[in-house]
A and B are shown apart, each in its own frame.
Chain A
Amino acid sequence: MSNTLIAKKESIISYLKETFNNVGTVTLFALRFFKEVIKPPYEMKEFIKQCYVIGYKSLPLVTITGFIMGLVLTLQSRPTLAKFGAESWLPSMVALSLIREIAPVITALICAGKVSSGIGAELGSMKVTEQIDAMEVSAINPYKYLVVTRILATTLMIPLLVIYADGIGVIGGYIGINIHSDVNFHRYLAQVLESITFLDIFPATIKTFFFGFFIGMIGCYKGFNAANGTESVGKAANSAVVTASLTIFIIDMLAVQITDLFF
């Protein structure tokens, strides 16, 4: 075998080794969450603080995004539905699109950008400045205090933010409809509620828990494993957003397949 081929073979082997090693490390990091979350002591104060930071502080962003989603979706869909004489289906279509797909994915992406990068940068900076080591030498479990609380908070808050975005999106849709016609809000809402079933809400809500878990987990993993040096803080934040966004799409694709199978 020529030297070039041997070098290529070795580089492929080392790449595969590194990839498997990384997958193993991420899996162990994620599995540790389930072990630590049930073990006392419970860091309730930090968990509530994180719920406030992740949930409440994301409300303005989710409000604006949710409203624009509903408004734009209505304005874009109206001409096509009008062509088929199905304009009256607009409230149902907007509500179903928002609840089943658009609100969960867009809200999760917004949170991947805001929350996952924030967690990645915060923990990355703590790692670089030895604050995580300081906790460890003080016999305080940094995984429990920093990681478990953040993953729990994202897992709980992202679904709530999605439900909130659903509501705001429906209001945006109502305003979108009223730009071109005059529809009574009660009638609009009645039509929206009539078109939504439990099977529309349930799978969409379940997948948002997974979105939340992975947004928190990826942010924490990237921050917790940041290399030394300030440059790695930026890298951790950036890498957290990219990985979390990609993971959201993968989960969404899997969720659609599973929903098709069972519902």
Chain B
Amino acid sequence: MTQEKTNVELNPISTVNEPVIEIKELYKSFGTNEVLKGVNLTVKKGENLVILGKSGSGKSITIKCIVGLMGIDKGEIKVFGSDITKMDNSELNKIRVRIGFLFQNAALYDSMSVRENLGFTLKRHAKDLTAEEVENQIKEILESVGLSEAIDKMPSELSGGMRKRIGLARTLILKPEIILYDEPTTGLDTITSREISELVLEIQKKYKTSSIIITHDMACAKHTSDRLMILKDGIIHAEGTYDELEKSDDEWVRSFFI
């Protein structure tokens, strides 16, 4: 796979506790609206970092900057040790195949079936795979998210939870080392939210991924996080484990856990 080739070209050595994402003094504004005012964060290999914050605090913008979907005003974003803000598009694409991104609404390609949604990405990055191998990988990934029966369905035929699972399957098909989740449980009922949270943990264990999870769902945060960060006024206001932050002296921080 292309992915394997790129792993060799870019800094491949990432041992446990070594940061896979490092953000230093990240600034991002839209016109006069300064959203990020010096965000600093680190994600270690194999770690699930949950970012909390009020709506509009810049959580989603932070992860979009990590994959280069948005340019930054100032700062440094190192992924696997390479600063992505100084990369051209082809270098950035080599990093992107190692990062999975689950969008808030899954962002499935409406005109394609589930099989085509998964195959579309895979065929472009693993050109040496035969049609049979592609089909097998699609089936295997669908099985890992528990939706083998949905292979021929169109996105319009899927429920919200199923869309999220297929979105996750599409993300996993390139076997990423980092997964960025943008509100994975938003708009889902309590049971489905719990199932998605469990799936996030399963993926972390099975594929040894590192993740950033943006969420407002405290149950999901508790279930999936190794560490939490809270964004306020464009900076990281608080950081710690779920238990530490729940017992924080800061009343504003505690208000998230009520």
Enumerate chain A interface residues (CB-CB to B < 8 A).
Answer: 41, 125-126, 129-131, 133-134, 136-140
Question: Given the known A-B contacts A130-B103, A137-B67, are A125 and B110 also in contact in the complex, defined by CB atoms under 8 Å?
Answer: yes
**In the bound complex, CA of A41 to CA of B127 (Å):** 11
B101 pairs with A134, CB closer than 8 A? yes
Set of chain A residues within 8 Å of B93, measured between Cβ atoms:
139
**In the bound complex, CA of A140 to CA of B96 (Å):** 10
For chain B, give the interface size range: 20 to 34
A139 pairs with B109, CB closer than 8 A? no
B191 at the interface (CB under 8 A from A): no
B125 at the interface (CB under 8 A from A): yes
Question: Using a CB-CB cutoff of 8 Å, which residues 31-79 of chain B contact chain A?
Answer: 64, 67, 69
- Closest chain-A Cβ to B180's Cβ sits at a distance in Å of 8
- Closest chain-A Cβ to B123's Cβ sits at a distance in Å of 10
**In the bound complex, CA of A130 to CA of B60 (Å):** 13
Question: Given the known A-B contacts A125-B110, A129-B110, A131-B110, are A137 and B96 also in contact in the complex, defined by CB atoms under 8 Å?
Answer: yes
Set of chain A residues within 8 Å of B108, measured between Cβ atoms:
131, 134
User: Which single member of A131, A133, A138 contacts B121 (CB below 8 Å)?
Assistant: A138
- Closest chain-B Cβ to A192's Cβ sits at a distance in Å of 42
- Closest chain-A Cβ to B158's Cβ sits at a distance in Å of 14
- Closest chain-B Cβ to A121's Cβ sits at a distance in Å of 12
Would you give the 0/1 interface string for B160-183, flagging 1 where the beta carbon is closer than 8 Å to chain A? Answer: 000000000010001000000000
**In the bound complex, CA of A136 to CA of B96 (Å):** 9
Set of chain A residues within 8 Å of B120, measured between Cβ atoms:
140
6 cross-chain CB contacts under 8 A: A126-B109, A131-B107, A133-B103, A134-B109, A137-B67, A138-B174
Residue of B nearest to A134 (CB): B107
B229 at the interface (CB under 8 A from A): no
B125 pairs with A137, CB closer than 8 A? no
Set of chain A residues within 8 Å of B101, measured between Cβ atoms:
134, 137
Enumerate chain B interface residues (CB-CB to A < 8 A).
Answer: 64, 67, 69, 93-94, 96-97, 99, 101, 103-105, 107-110, 120-121, 124-125, 170, 174
Q: Report the 6 A-B pairs with minimum CB-CB distance, sorted nearest first.
A: A139-B93, A134-B107, A130-B107, A139-B96, A137-B101, A138-B121
Question: Given the known A-B contacts A137-B69, A137-B96, are A129 and B105 also in contact in the complex, defined by CB atoms under 8 Å?
Answer: yes
Set of chain A residues within 8 Å of B94, measured between Cβ atoms:
139
Residue of A nearest to B2 (CB): A139
A136 pairs with B69, CB closer than 8 A? yes
B99 pairs with A137, CB closer than 8 A? yes
Question: Given the known A-B contacts A125-B110, A129-B110, A139-B97, are A134 and B103 also in contact in the complex, defined by CB atoms under 8 Å?
Answer: yes
Set of chain B residues within 8 Å of A139, measured between Cβ atoms:
93-94, 96-97, 124-125
**In the bound complex, CA of A140 to CA of B174 (Å):** 13
**In the bound complex, CA of A130 to CA of B69 (Å):** 11
A133 pairs with B107, CB closer than 8 A? yes
**In the bound complex, CA of A137 to CA of B180 (Å):** 11
- Closest chain-B Cβ to A219's Cβ sits at a distance in Å of 16
- Choose among A125, A126, A138 the residue with the greatest number of B CB atoms under 10 Å from its CB: A138
Question: Given the known A-B contacts A130-B103, A133-B69, A134-B103, are A140 and B124 also in contact in the complex, defined by CB atoms under 8 Å?
Answer: yes
User: Which single member of A126, A129, A130, A138 contacts B96 (CB below 8 Å)?
Assistant: A138
Set of chain B residues within 8 Å of A133, measured between Cβ atoms:
64, 69, 103, 107
Residue of B nearest to A43 (CB): B124
Set of chain B residues within 8 Å of A131, measured between Cβ atoms:
107-110
Set of chain B residues within 8 Å of A137, measured between Cβ atoms:
67, 69, 96, 99, 101
Set of chain A residues within 8 Å of B174, measured between Cβ atoms:
138
**In the bound complex, CA of A140 to CA of B99 (Å):** 13
User: Which single member of A41, A125, A130 contacts B105 (CB below 8 Å)?
Assistant: A130
Residue of B nearest to A41 (CB): B124
- Closest chain-B Cβ to A163's Cβ sits at a distance in Å of 29
- Closest chain-B Cβ to A125's Cβ sits at a distance in Å of 7
Set of chain B residues within 8 Å of A41, measured between Cβ atoms:
124
- Closest chain-A Cβ to B127's Cβ sits at a distance in Å of 9
Set of chain A residues within 8 Å of B121, measured between Cβ atoms:
138, 140
**In the bound complex, CA of A203 to CA of B89 (Å):** 40
**In the bound complex, CA of A129 to CA of B174 (Å):** 22
**In the bound complex, CA of A139 to CA of B89 (Å):** 9
**In the bound complex, CA of A201 to CA of B80 (Å):** 60
Set of chain B residues within 8 Å of A126, measured between Cβ atoms:
109-110
Residue of B nearest to A125 (CB): B110
